[in-house]
Amino acid sequence: MNKILFVIGLVFYSIYTPAMAQTEANLGIDSPSIAVIKKSLATRMPILKPLFESHSIGLTRDGLIQIMKPDNIHPTERRNVEMLVDDDNKDRATLYREIARANGRPDWEADLKRTFGERWINRAPTGWMIEDAAGVWKKK
């Protein structure tokens, strides 16, 4: 759990994209809504981790997660996993939007999304499924 929180923390404090070249985004910016999203993502990760490890889900290049192998998920759990992935992706999208908005630059949302995708993929453990820049899925 500490490793997950560390990775999330690094992502929030180390993102920098070309579109933000003239003004660096304050990714450590906080608001009540950002704090809630961070907590939600951190709370959900221990549940998602075994799904990443079994290749049932993977990290997309645009900062989301995707179900990769639904057959790896027991049929009675499939709906729960779909809801978890959906909830996580909603939080991720909201996080990107809120960070861009808090920086006064809603136009940075798409860049933040791609940058978070790159950073999360770079920090993912070996063996997780990732989508590369060309859209090809592979094991990291």
Average pLDDT, consecutive stretches of 10 residues, N- to C-terminus, the chain (140 residues): 48 43 64 92 96 96 94 93 97 94 91 89 95 94
In this prediction, residue 27 carries a pLDDT of 62
In this prediction, residue 23 carries a pLDDT of 62
Residue 56: CB partners within 8 Å, gap ≥ 6?
67, 68, 69, 70, 72, 73, 81
In this prediction, residue 132 carries a pLDDT of 93
Burial track 15-24 (b if 16+ CB lie within 10 A, e otherwise): bebeebeeee
In this prediction, residue 21 carries a pLDDT of 41
Q: Quick check: helix, strand or coil at residue 33?
A: helix
φ, ψ of residue 112 in degrees (nearest 5) = -60, -40
Closest CA to 95 of 48, 36, 54, 15: 36
In this prediction, residue 54 carries a pLDDT of 94
